[in-house]
Structure 1
Amino acid sequence: MSDCTSLELPFPHRRSPHQARAAAHHRLWLDRHSRLAACADESAYAHWEVADLAAISYPEAGAEELGLATDLLGFYFLFDDQFDTELGQHPAEVARICDRLTTIVHGAPASGRSPVEQAFADIWRRTAAGMPARWRARAAYNWEWYFASHPAEAAGRAFAELPDRESYMVLRRGTAAMETLFDMIERLGRFEVPQSAFHHPVLRQLRQLAADIPSLSNDVRSYPLEAPRGDVYNLVMIVQQERSCSAEEASAVVLGEAQLMIDRFAALRLQLATVYHQLELDHEQRGAAQRYADGLAAWLAGYLRWEARTGRYRLS
């Protein structure tokens, strides 16, 4: 398969100095939520380097905040992997699980929660604490989008129907959970991007590119694992069908598309100063918008470096 490290980024990755503390905190969190952690083999999980991903994706986060980011990433992986089993081929059961999780961001009572619900409730409580109402509303919507995407993915597995490219992108943008990860840039930094900048076409494009690039590179990485178990929401498989080509050739095409997206991301970043001027943002507003844009770049640089080294996508 093609090597995702061939993607060229115009900015370097950085690392938080609090990684060791976050890793220790995360071990305690896994102990408290041991029934969720049991979804993965303990030795295999250690090779996923979850704290490493947090440290190079959120390099500006303080010690406590980086611990939260590590727990959040661990939750994503453990939650997602439970659907790689027989469960992941039963859309109605997946919907039941995801519907209950969605109620948590809308204030459902704490009684009678399953282990996965208890773990997510802890993540959401810590994440939402002290954040403005507008941010919480957006974050709740993005979590709902993430959870609500899983039943459709399960249906794809159950019926083994390869989607067209447009349908793939729609669903992948939900199951990848990138919007929730980008919400954390503001949460971990304790700031909020002014809405005029957040929804400006340039920043919206930057956000979409920062979401799509890791999804494409991840499809290449995870193809050897996903193809045998019938996962169809993978762009390598779709390109294979589009072009009647080998997996190797399709992987090269997907990585080529990802590189074009990276180049577009770099070009759009150069427009930000003009955007701030045109929107008449004051110094504080410009600072918040730039911190967010820099956070998107840090996520890209960190994720792509981590993905090239983690044991999560290696064949056992």
Structure 2
Amino acid sequence: MSDCTSLELPFPHRRSPHQAGAAAHHRLWLDRHRQLTAGITEPAYEHWDVSELAAFCYPEAGPDELGLAADLLGFYFLFDDQFDTELGQHPAEVARICDRLCGITHGTAAFAATTPFGSSAPSTSPVPSASSAPPTPSATEHAFADLWRRSQRGMSARWRARAAYNWEWYFASHPAEAAGRAFAELPDRESYLVLRRGTAAMETLFDMIERLGHFEVPQSAFHHPVLRRLRQLAADIPSFSNDVRSYPLEAPRGDVYNLVMIVQQERGCPADEASAVVLAEAQLMINQFAELRLQLADVYNQLELDAAQRGAVQRYADGLAAWLAGYLRWEGRTGRYRAG
């Protein structure tokens, strides 16, 4: 397979000085939500280096914020991995799980508002026998409710609405991915991109740049074409690289939403050649990202942003670059994508 480390970035990765504290915090959080890790051994999980990913991707975050980042990243991995089992081939069951999690972000899951902060164990009280009684919240729901409450702290209603939408996009993409596994239908490139941009959860991760930094990007800049393009590139590049890394694990189990497989079908070529093509596309996107960053000064002038607004936009763009550099650095070191 082609080597993802061949990707060249015009900016270096950095590491937060608070990684050790985030790692200790994350271990305690996992202890409180231990049912999340039922499918993996502790040594194997430690080999993923989740706290290192947080430290690489959010190098400016303070100690408490980096702990939240580590918890979120751990949740993504553990939530996603449950669908690598037989469960992941049953779209209706996946939809049921994801709909209940979406309900937490939209305030329709009553327990999310009443569960004490940090609580993890599902309720052990008897469930009423009436057919209308809601199901007992799962360990996954309790863990996500905790993360959602912490993530909202100090943020505006506008940010919360956007974050809720992005979480819904992430969760609601999983049933379609499950259908792809169940029917083993290789998607075309456009369908792949639509679904991958949902299941990769990148928009939720980019929302956390603002949350962890305690600032918000002005609306006019957030939706400006330059920033939207920067965000899309920063989302797609790791997905392309990850597809190359994870291909040896995904191909045997029938996961079809992988760009290496799609390029193989497009070109009728072996996996090594398809991987090289995917990485070449990623490198082109990295170059585009660097060029777009140079246009931010023009955006500030065009939108007549004041000094504070310019500072917020620059912090966000720098956060996207930090995420990109940090993720690619971590991906080359983690044991998560190594077979065996």
TM-score by length of 1: 0.99
- The alignment yields a C-alpha RMSD, in angstroms, of 0.6
Q: Does 1:254 align with 2:278?
A: yes
Match of 1:309, SS?
Answer: coil
Deviation (angstroms), 1:41: 1.9
Q: Letter of the aligned partner of 1:33 in structure 2?
A: H
Alignment of 1:1-316 (within 5 A): 1-107=1-107, 108-110=109-111, 112-316=136-340
Taking structure 2 as the reference length, the TM-score comes to 0.92
Identity of aligned residues (%): 84
- Gapped runs of 5+ residues in structure 2? 113-135
Q: What are the superposed Cα offsets for residues 71-114 of structure 1, whole Å, 9 maximum, x if unpaired? A: 00000000000000000000000000000000000112117310
- Per-residue CA deviation, residues 128-149 of structure 1 (Å, 9 max, x unaligned), is 1221000000000000000000
Find the residue that maps to 2:110 and give its secondary structure. coil
**Structure 2 Cα separation of the partners of residues 122 and 3 of structure 1:** 38
How far apart in 2 are the matches of 1:160 and 1:113? 32
Aligned length: 316
CA deviations on 1:169-204 (whole Å, 9 max, x unpaired) are 000000000000000000000100000000000000
Q: Distance in 2 between matches of 1:147 and 1:22?
A: 26
Deviations 1:191-238 (A, max 9, x none): 000000000000000000000000000000000000000000000000
Once residues 39 and 33 of structure 1 are traced to their aligned partners in structure 2, the CA distance between those partners, rounded to angstroms, is 13
Unaligned residue ranges in structure 1 (runs of 5+): none
Cα distance in 2, alignment partners of residues 273 and 222 from structure 1: 37
For residues 268 and 129 of structure 1, what CA distance do their matches in structure 2 show?
A: 31
Q: Which amino acid aligns with 2:139?
A: P
- 1:39: Cα distance to partner? 2.6
Q: Compute the displacement of 1:38 (Å).
A: 1.5
Whole-Å separation in 2 of the counterparts to 1:239 and 1:137? 36
| Larger-Rg structure | 2
CA distance in 2, matches of 1:245, 1:211: 26
Kindly report structure 1 stretches of 4+ aligned residues shifted beyond 2 Å.
none
- Matches of 1:104 and 1:39 in 2, distance apart? 24
Distance in 2 (alpha carbons) for counterparts of 1:98 and 1:152 = 12
How big is each residue's C-alpha offset from its partner over 1:278-300, in whole Å with a ceiling of 9 and x where there is no partner?
10000000000000000000000
Q: Secondary structure at the match of 2:39?
A: coil
- d(CA) in 1 for partners of 2:110, 2:59: 35
